[in-house]
Amino acid sequence: MSNNARPLAVVTGAARGIGLATTRQLALRGYHVLAIDAPVGSTMPYALSSASELEGIREDHIVPRRCDVRDADLLTAIVQEMTADFGALEVAVACAGVLAGSESSLELDPRQAHEIFDVDYWGVVHLATVTVPLLRRSHGVLIAVSSAAGTRGLPRLGHYCAAKHAIHGFLSALAREEVPKGVRINIVAPGSTDTALLAATADVYELSLPTAFLAQQLDPHLNTPDDVANVICFLASNEASGINATVVPVDRGFMG
C-alpha cells in the first residue's frame, strides 16, 4: 500500500545534467521521484556519474537508487519495490546516455560502440519494459531523452546516431501500440546543452570549448539542462495530453 500522497515518477541518468534538472523539477511539481544512476564500469573516455554524486541529490521527495540501466533485472526490482512503497507510477523518463566518437565511425573501439547501444538504446528498452505495464494502470507517460543526432547523421558519431535513431524507431512503434491502453510516449531531442556530454562531444571534434557548437544553430545560446527539463515536465503534464508519438526538438534551431 502507498505511504505517499504524491504521484511517483522515475528518472534514469538522474545524477547529472538533464536527468538531474528533470528530477528536481518533477519533485518541485509534486512528484515523488525515484532517481536512478551511477553505472557500474564504463569504456567511455570521460568519467560517468558516481554513487556519491547520486546520493548527493537526495531530498525529501527524491530517492536516489544506484542502478546501471544495462541491468534489466535490478532495474525491474527497484521500480517494483518503489511502486509497492509509494503507489502508482505516473511518469517515466529515460535520460541515461553515453557518447563516444572517432574520426571515422568505422574506427570506434567496439567496446565503446557496444556500450553506446547497451546504454542509449537498451537502457530505454529496459525502462520501457518495466514501466509501461505500470503506466497502463495510471494512464501515465513515458518520455525518452534522445538527441538532435536521432534525426540526422553526424560525422564521427555514427554509433551514437544509430542508437538514437533506434530509440526513435522503437518508441514510435511502441507509442502506437500503447494508445488504446492509455499510455502516452514521446521523445525529446535536445540540441547543444550545457552538460558533461556536450563537453565529451566537443572532445570528439577537437574543439576547445563546447560553445563552438553555437555556430550550428540559429539561437546563439546553449540550452541549460533546465531548458530541456521544462519541456519534459510539460510533456508529462495533463496540459500535453494531446501530444503523443512525437519527437519534440529542443535544439534552438539546429542546422547541422
Determine the residue type at 150.
G
Q: For the chain, give the number of residues.
A: 256
Instruction: Tell me how far apart the alpha carbons of residues 51 and 159 are, in angstroms, rounded to a whole number.
Output: 27
Spatial strand order of the sheet with 89-94 comes to 62-66, 32-37, 8-12, 89-94, 141-145, 184-190, 247-250
Range 95-109 burial, b when 16+ CB lie within 10 A, else e: bbbbbbbbeebeebe
In whole angstroms, give the CA distance from residue 154 to residue 101.
10
Which parts of the chain are beta strand (E)?
A: 8-12, 32-37, 62-66, 89-94, 141-145, 184-190, 247-250
Instruction: Calculate helix-pair angle for 122-138, 72-86, nearest 10 degrees.
Output: 20
Average pLDDT, the chain: 96
- Band (pLDDT 50/70/90 cuts) for residue 10 is very high
Question: 509501461: which residue's cell?
Answer: 132
Residues 66 and 62: their CA atoms lie apart, in Å, by 13
How far is the C-alpha of 110 from the C-alpha of 112, rounded, in Å? 5
**Run of H or E residues at 60:** none
Q: What are 118-151's pLDDT values in tens digits?
A: 999 999 999 999 999 999 999 999 999 999 999 9
Cβ pair 225, 18 in contact under 8 A: yes
Q: Within 103-245, where are the H helices?
A: 110-116, 122-138, 158-178, 196-204, 225-236
In the chain, where the domains are located: 8-250
Given 3-state DSSP classes, what are the helix, strand and coil percentages for the chain, each rounded to the nearest 5? 50, 15, 35
Side-chain-side CA neighbours of 107 within 13 Å: the count stands at 7
* 3-state SS class at 232: helix
Q: What is the tens place of the pLDDT at every residue in 23-61?
A: 999 999 999 999 999 888 999 999 999 999 999 999 999
Q: Which triple of cell numbers denotes residue 159?
A: 554509433
Whether this prediction's pTM lies above 0.85 is answered by yes
From the options 2.60.40.10, 1.20.1260.10, 3.40.50.720, 3.40.1710.10, give the CATH code of 8-250.
Answer: 3.40.50.720
Query: Which residues are registered as beta bridge partners of 93?
Result: 11, 143
Q: How far apart are CA 23 and CA 28, in angstroms?
A: 9
Determine which helix (DSSP H) or strand (DSSP E) holds 16, and give its type and residue range. none
pLDDT band of residue 1 (cuts 50, 70, 90) is: very low
User: pLDDT tens digits, residue range 210-238?
Assistant: 999 999 999 999 999 999 999 999 999 99
